[in-house]
Amino acid sequence: MAMKGILRPGLVQIRVMDVEAALSHYVDRLGLYKVGSDAGRAFLKGADEFEHHSVTLVEADTPGMDFIAFKVMEEADLDHFEARVRAEGIAVAHIAAGEQPGYGRRISFVAPSGHTIQLFAHAEQSEPKPDLANPDIWPVEPHGMGARRFDHMQLNGVRVPETLDFFTRVLDFYLAEKVDDESGAPIAIWLTCGMKAHDVAFVDGGVPGRMHHAAFELADWNAVGHAADIITKYNLSIDLGPTRHGITRGRTIYFFDPSGNRTEVFAEGYTYYPDHPVRVWDKQSLGKGIFYYQRQLNDNFMNVVT
Ligand code: FE2
């Protein structure tokens, strides 16, 4: 598939109450690398990512997500998407290069769901990153759970049908899977801009702009088991897993950072092509869709968001 336009999730800014405690979670346990810091912020990345950083932890009074930024193929895409977003009557803000270290300019707007979405075209590279000359399988030996890269997010918000229309018609995402209510209206959508089963999911949560989880890619089912060992060894707060999703087919564990933000480690999942038909779940089958082995949802998963 010839990918252009929006390529992938590139950067998320997560609010935490204690940056040092969060670094223990995201670096020591999850396996990311700290590439820098400034007043109240720390910048992290996975070793399989080229860009300067993919996670910004920012000290705040409440947890949650400030924004998710997607990488576009080239500079002209920023102007292209700005015009399309403005044509919807949605305001677009400009964020100057350097606001995040190593990052070029970004455009920023609020999706119908209530979440701040950003796009960027350029970021400097930083270490560790994949080797290019006679490359080893990793540039540094993995530690902790061995998270390779930022993978996707689930965002709980409002106006899911309008969000689906906005992401597919304006931003050129594809709908891979959805859950419909009894009337056939979508209440949860899994959207992809590449060949992953999803790059971002939106769920009707009744409140705009909430973060359900940020997900990081592990190698395989064995790595998910290793992550579970680490969760128990260090007595981390767990939501559910190890298990598997029916939706996306991913292998998964959900657990919480010290501020209460949910983290997912995710492996595998099917390959998506843009000619694939949409997979549809009805509301009664949601338990099996989310937790394929347990076939029922838990209260934490449905109700805890930041
Ligand atoms: Fe997820």
For the stretch 242-297, pLDDT in tens is 999 999 999 999 999 999 999 999 999 999 999 999 999 998 898 999 999 999 88
Question: Of 69-73, 79-83, 300-304, which range is least confident?
Answer: 300-304
- What are φ and ψ of residue 253, in 5° steps? -140, 140
* pTM for the full predicted model: 0.97
186-239 tens-digit pLDDT: 999 999 999 999 999 999 999 999 999 999 999 999 999 999 999 999 999 999
pLDDT at 2 over 80: no
In this prediction, residue 299 carries a pLDDT of 84
Task: Give me ligand 1 centre to Cα 210, in Å.
Answer: 14
| Interatomic CA distance for residues 57 and 55, integer angstroms | 6
| Interatomic CA distance for residues 130 and 268, integer angstroms | 20
Task: Give me ligand 1 centre to Cα 152, in Å.
Answer: 6
Task: Give me ligand 1 centre to Cα 59, in Å.
Answer: 24
> Is the domain defined by 6-120 classed in CATH 3.30.70.360?
no
Q: What percentage of the chain has pLDDT greater than the value 70? A: 99
Q: Which residues contact 272 (CB under 8 A, 6 or more apart)?
A: 174, 176, 192, 194, 195, 196, 197
In this prediction, residue 117 carries a pLDDT of 98
pLDDT at 240 over 60: yes
Chain mean pLDDT for the chain: 96
Q: Do domains 6-120 and 149-303 have the same CATH topology?
A: yes
CATH of region 149-303, choose from 3.30.450.90, 3.20.20.70, 3.10.180.10, 3.40.190.80: 3.10.180.10
| Interatomic CA distance for residues 267 and 240, integer angstroms | 15
**Catalytic residue numbers, as ranges:** 152, 198, 213, 245, 254, 264
| Interatomic CA distance for residues 30 and 230, integer angstroms | 9
pLDDT at 36 over 60: yes
Task: Give me ligand 1 centre to Cα 200, in Å.
Answer: 8
Task: Give me ligand 1 centre to Cα 134, in Å.
Answer: 33
In this prediction, residue 147 carries a pLDDT of 98
* Every domain of the chain and the residues it spans: 6-120, 149-303
Which pLDDT band, with edges at 50, 70 and 90, does 298 fall under? Answer: confident
pLDDT at 1 over 60: no
